[in-house]
Amino acid sequence: MAACRREIAEELGVTARVLAPLVIDWVPSRPPRTAAYQWLFRVEVPHTDFRLQPDELSGWEWVPPSRLSEHLAAGTARRLEAAVSVDDQGLGLVYLEDGHAVLPART
């Protein structure tokens, strides 16, 4: 959770309160990138007066889950859609592989 808080502070310039992990997603290698685990957390931020790092982020926008695929790569959109579903349903932590659930969710 410390890494999540640090990344939000570095990328957005705000302090976040990390509430819960939602998904862990194993992402296979796609050269030149190696395989990785992506963690998504539910966070609370005090405001949206973000200070973006211009060499990394050019802007931000609230997007409804139904439109994520219009803005993100397919795997990233699947990962975020899964996180929204986990959060909405209160399922707890869910494990994904390339954005797809591979274990039944616990309720």
Q: What is the pLDDT of residues 62-99, one digit of tens each?
A: 999 999 999 998 989 999 999 999 899 888 899 999 99
Enter the tokens of residue 63.
């997007």
Q: What is the pLDDT of residue 48?
A: 87
The residue among 14 and 105 whose pLDDT is bigger is 14
Q: How far apart are CA 87 and CA 48, in angstroms?
A: 20
- Note the pTM of the prediction, 2 decimals: 0.84
CATH 3.30.1360.120 fits 2-101, yes or no: no
The two beta strands, 36-44 and 100-101, are unpaired
Question: What region, left, alpha or beta, does residue 48 occupy, with left being phi > 0 and alpha being psi -120 to 50 degrees?
Answer: alpha
Percent of the chain, pLDDT > 90? 70
Say whether 94 sits in a helix, a strand or coil: strand
Where helices occur in the chain by DSSP H, the ranges are 2-12, 68-71, 74-89
